[in-house]
Amino acid sequence: MKTPLSKGALRDQRAKMLAAAPDWRASDARVNPRVAIGSILAMWVIYFLITTGLAMLAGAPEQLNYIGRRAIVVVAGILCTFVLYQLVQRVQPRGFGARLGVAMGAAVPLVVVYACINLLVFFYWFPSPDTAKIIGEVQHKFPVAWETVLILDSSIRWYFFFAVWAALYVAFGYANEMRAVERRANHFRIEAQNAQLRALHYQVNPHFLFNTLNSLSTLVLRGSKSEAETMIMNLSSFLRSSLAVDPEQLVSLEEEIALQRLYLDIEQARFPDRLHVEVTMAEDLNSACVPVLILQPIIENAIKYGVAPSKGAIAVRLDARSEYGLLVIRVENDIDPDAPAPAPGTGLGLGNVRERLLTRYGPSAGCEWGRSDAGGFFVSLWLPLGRERC
């Protein structure tokens, strides 16, 4: 049989879950194909429009012929950049710097290919009147490798154009990766929170069950068959309701009080002349949402420390009201001054209530307890007032 984790061990385990880095996945750094292809087309179309517009403003001759040639190299540039996109999409190192290095390196051969196409279009296939003059000047300086010089010169100038798109792609991928990591981290945080809520829910005080079984034994020995049968049925209904609910579930305040009445019916059989219950609540609060069984440790403490040790009648009062957008619930019980003081508790039950509220709602919820002005004991809890579907 597994030993349940202590509260401190549970907190440490939850902290480790939150601190653990989510698994890295290469697919996280990939950019949506529509975004990638759209950025390629946008970059080259903008280049075409800007270059053509500047040439027209400058009054360069034969712009209609240059537009056709420029369109050919733009199409070639689009194809080369698309190949670059395919390469960087398939090679996704984990580190951002390595990813950027791969993208920059992959751009080098594609820039050379583009420069070769640019040379063919403007110097061989569709030469302009100035082409022969340019070739002559280059051949005079580099008589053997003049084509190589033109390709290298063009590659150096165009490399930065390709590098800008590669850096943009890596930046988009890194942003996608950070969003994916954040989503998984939030998922782990929610799972850790839910695990804590479940653990808090199942920290049930066994005294109630032991006392109920003892009371059943007393009724059986006295021959009170009908009372014993009623207590068994109430106990069965309460356990079925309390153990079947999801500890993360929200229920209406009306349903929560109905669950507590099942428990109080059991205790009423134990203390038929001593336990009196009073509930004060406006009808419009019936649909207010509360964590399921949030009142159970409070009611149980009222019975254990107020009703059980007393000799006379003890009232347990529950009051619910709304204040400044908060649902405030106060449970108060009388204390018999002549009754022997019970052994002090560990504070686990009320600490459980406070921890559940803080885990679910944060600082907008809380719980406090102490001696009331009338000499009894009170527990007051507050949480955001919500009437959404529970």
CATH number for the domain that contains residue 236: 3.30.565.10
Strand-strand pairing, 314-323 and 275-281: parallel
How much is the pLDDT for 280? 92
- Domain membership of residue 231 (yes or no) is yes
CA pair distance 132, 265, nearest whole angstrom: 106
Structural domain for 225, as ranges: 203-384
- Domain membership of residue 362 (yes or no) is yes
How much is the pLDDT for 194? 62
Helix, strand, coil shares, percent, the chain, to 5: 65, 10, 25
- Domain membership of residue 31 (yes or no) is yes
How much is the pLDDT for 197? 54
Task: For residues 102 and 240, state if they share a domain.
Answer: no
* pLDDT tens, position by position, 163-183: 999 999 988 888 888 888 787
- Domain membership of residue 306 (yes or no) is yes
Which one of 198, 217, 252 terminates a domain? 198
How much is the pLDDT for 15? 47
Task: For residues 73 and 218, state if they share a domain.
Answer: no
Q: What is the mean pLDDT of each run of 10 residues along the chain (390 residues)?
A: 47 47 61 89 90 77 74 92 90 81 91 90 77 71 77 88 90 84 73 60 60 79 81 80 70 89 84 88 90 87 86 90 92 85 69 85 90 89 82
Residue 223, C-beta contacts closer than 8 angstroms, at least 6 positions apart: none
Task: For residues 253 and 151, state if they share a domain.
Answer: no
- Domain membership of residue 347 (yes or no) is yes
Under a CB-based contact definition with an 8 Å cutoff, are residues 386 and 370 in contact? no
Task: For residues 14 and 152, state if they share a domain.
Answer: yes
Task: For residues 248 and 350, state if they share a domain.
Answer: yes
Which one of 174, 198, 222 terminates a domain? 198
Task: For residues 80 and 216, state if they share a domain.
Answer: no
* pLDDT tens, position by position, 320-359: 999 988 999 999 998 888 777 766 666 667 888 888 888 8
Task: For residues 59 and 186, state if they share a domain.
Answer: yes
CA pair distance 110, 159, nearest whole angstrom: 9
Task: For residues 94 and 146, state if they share a domain.
Answer: yes
Task: For residues 189 and 225, state if they share a domain.
Answer: no
* Total of domains in the chain: 2
Under a CB-based contact definition with an 8 Å cutoff, are residues 329 and 380 in contact? yes
Under a CB-based contact definition with an 8 Å cutoff, are residues 330 and 379 in contact? yes
Instruction: For residue 228, give both structure tokens.
Output: 């014993």
Task: For residues 155 and 215, state if they share a domain.
Answer: no
Instruction: For residue 86, give both structure tokens.
Output: 């395919």
- Domain membership of residue 157 (yes or no) is yes
Task: For residues 167 and 309, state if they share a domain.
Answer: no
CA pair distance 37, 79, nearest whole angstrom: 10
Which one of 166, 198, 230 terminates a domain? 198
CA 174, 179, 180, 182 dihedral sign is: positive
The dihedrals phi and psi of 275, each to the nearest 5 degrees, come to -100, 125
- Domain membership of residue 247 (yes or no) is yes
Task: For residues 173 and 240, state if they share a domain.
Answer: no
Please tell me whether the overall predicted TM-score, pTM, comes out greater than 0.85 for this model: no
- Domain membership of residue 389 (yes or no) is no
Under a CB-based contact definition with an 8 Å cutoff, are residues 377 and 370 in contact? yes
Element (H, E) at 57: helix 33-57
How much is the pLDDT for 22? 46
